[in-house]
Amino acid sequence: MSTEKKSFFGVMKSYNSNFWIASMMELFERWAWYGMFAVLALYLTGSTDEGALGFSHIEKGQIMGVVTAILYFLPIITGVIADKIGYKLSLTIAYILLGTGYYFMGEVSSFTSVFLVFLWVAVGAAMFKPVASAIITKNTDKSNSTLGFGIFYMMVNIGGFVGPTFSSNLRTQFGWKIVFLQAAIVIGINLLILLLFFKEGERVKKEETIGEAILSSIKNIWEAVKDTRLSVLLVIMIGFWTMFNQLFYTLPTFIEDWVNTKALHDSIANVSPWLASFMSGGGDSVNPEMLINIDAGAIILFQIMVSYFVLKMRHVSAMITGFVIASIGIGITFYTGNGLYTILGIVIFAIGEMMTNPTFSSFIALISPKGKEALYMGTYFLPIFLGNFITTFISGNLYQAWSDKLSLLQTEMAKRSIEMPEVTKEFSKNDYFASASEKLGMTQNEMTQFIWDTYNPNKIWYVIVAIGVVTIFALVIYDRLVIRPKEAKETKSA
């Protein structure tokens, strides 16, 4: 027992100041990002009479999916620029883009302007991401990298928890614009941390121009993905990221549409009135983003413990186990309109996520040929890019057709030949629900239950869980055909 504790604290002491500064900057950057992103689906599709934009789910999917996909593709380019101009200058540019972008997100309202300003934010985030990861990579080695990335991921989730918590309470009390102002202020804090505390070490200066360096980076990425072991793994991980994205793209609007969070609020209030008030921002219904935030909260509490446990497992075994647990969790969240099951599903999903995501980073390093670790790590963002792009259609087109409460209600009203006005800024979604409820002779809760029973909007879980199941089987086959033979060969040669 004492030896294990000493080993653990010995590893903790091996990280230098830049490791902790990068982790702290990651915390604040994630605070800003998730403080905005956790409520973005609700803001884009919410009723205009509540200050939201009233976009369709297809428009929401295009904004969130396409722009975020671009964000995760750009590090191939921005990482090269960072190496060329230095980490400190790169982070300064990133924070200026992020701070201004977040502010203007709250000032625009048309589809085109929101898309373009969010793209502006995405460029800033793309400037930040490879630098933060590179600092962690440069300040860890094989003896402490798994735990190091686990700590880094824990800091991601502290920021990912604090941001939505603040946003949930702020937007309930002061409206939507304060969410984007909060994000801009937090990025300003990060800029101060960078300027006051971060000390950039010496970097190798190369003669090639930025254009030549970017072209060289793309060629190197292509060289890496030609390795079948890596490319197959990256394709498999697209499934994980597509499934993970449903937590932020699809689940908030599913909760808003179908989960009776007032009943959940009352259940929680019977146990803890303070917690019920905290999760509802002082209202009488639990805010969807507070339920989503349970994922980050669980990771804050348990990530280091899970990462330390995973150290004793084979990388692939840990990832397969994580996939199975995550698939079960995400399925439960979409299966029912009961808020307690939503909470249970999110907690289960978080456990699977904790086992899978940090292990993936470490696993890429494990299969990388000697001297090509950085080259292979550069491919990390590719499956996230493709996962976000695929999510555009699941969270957008598929949700609009199968699960959007407004669309299904409009279909029902048309079937009954009941005339209803079009939803506009003057006649909001909430107005439509109230009018339809009156014309159907039902309360709004009864109307929601009727649409649920008639159209089964939870059937979207079939697609989401199927992605997880296919990913699990693909990873099992990959393990048997690629990884185990490689391990057996290495054991024999040793």
| Greatest mean pLDDT range, 4-13, 110-119, 150-159, 168-177 | 110-119
**Tokens found for residue 415:** 């079937």
Residue 468 pLDDT > 50? yes
pLDDT tens profile 210-262: 788 788 878 888 888 888 888 888 998 899 899 999 999 999 999 999 999 99
Q: What is the mean pLDDT of residues 475-483?
A: 87
pLDDT bucket at 1, cuts 50 / 70 / 90: very low
Q: Are 131 and 90 in contact (CB under 8 A)?
A: yes
Least confident of 14-28, 161-175, 234-248, 430-444: 14-28
Q: Distance between CA 390 and CA 74 in Å, rounded?
A: 17
Contact between 238 and 383 (Cβ < 8 Å): yes
Output the CA–CA distances (angstroms, integers) from residue 312 to 175, 316, 476, in the order listed: 47, 12, 19
Structure tokens at 321: 């186990």
Model confidence over 29-42: pLDDT tens digits? Answer: 999 999 999 999 99
For residues 425 and 462, which has the higher predicted lDDT (pLDDT)?
A: 462
For the chain, what is the mean pLDDT?
A: 87
Q: 206: pLDDT confidence band, cut at 50, 70 and 90? A: low
Please report which confidence band the pLDDT of residue 14 belongs to, taking 50, 70 and 90 as the band edges.
low
Radius of gyration of the chain (CA): 23
429-440 vs 405-415: helix axis angle to the nearest 10? 40
Amino acid 450: pLDDT: 97
Higher-pLDDT residue of 131, 458: 458
Q: Is the pLDDT of residue 16 over 70?
A: no
Indicate whether 164 pLDDT > 80.
yes
Contact by Cβ (8 Å): 316, 360? no
Supply the pTM of this predicted model.
Answer: 0.88
**Which of 212-221, 294-303, 341-350 is predicted with the least confidence, judged by mean pLDDT?**
212-221
Range scoring the smallest mean pLDDT among 119-128, 148-157, 276-285, 479-488: 148-157
The pLDDT value recorded for residue 345 is 96
Residue 388 is predicted with a pLDDT of: 95
Q: Is the dihedral of CA 313, 318, 320, 321 positive or negative?
A: positive
User: What is the end-to-end Cα distance of the chain in Å, rounded?
Assistant: 30
- pLDDT above 70: residue 143: no
Most confident of the ranges 279-288, 318-327, 348-357, 402-411: 402-411
For residue 376, the model assigns a pLDDT of: 75
- Is the confidence at residue 24, as pLDDT, over 70? yes
pLDDT for res 202: 64
The CA-based angle 118-121-125, given to 5 degrees, is 135
Q: How confident is the model at residue 5 (pLDDT cuts 50, 70, 90)?
A: very low
Is 350's pLDDT higher than 50? yes
Q: Which residue has the tokens 């964000």?
A: 71
Q: Is the pLDDT of residue 473 over 80?
A: yes
**% residues pLDDT > 90 (the chain):** 57
Residue given tokens 């994205």 in the structure block: 245
User: Is residue 131's pLDDT more than 50?
Assistant: yes
pLDDT at residue number 215: 85
Burial class (CB in 10 A: 0-12, 13-18, 19+), 221: middle
- The pLDDT-based confidence of 2 (bands split at 50, 70, 90) is very low
pLDDT at 197: 86
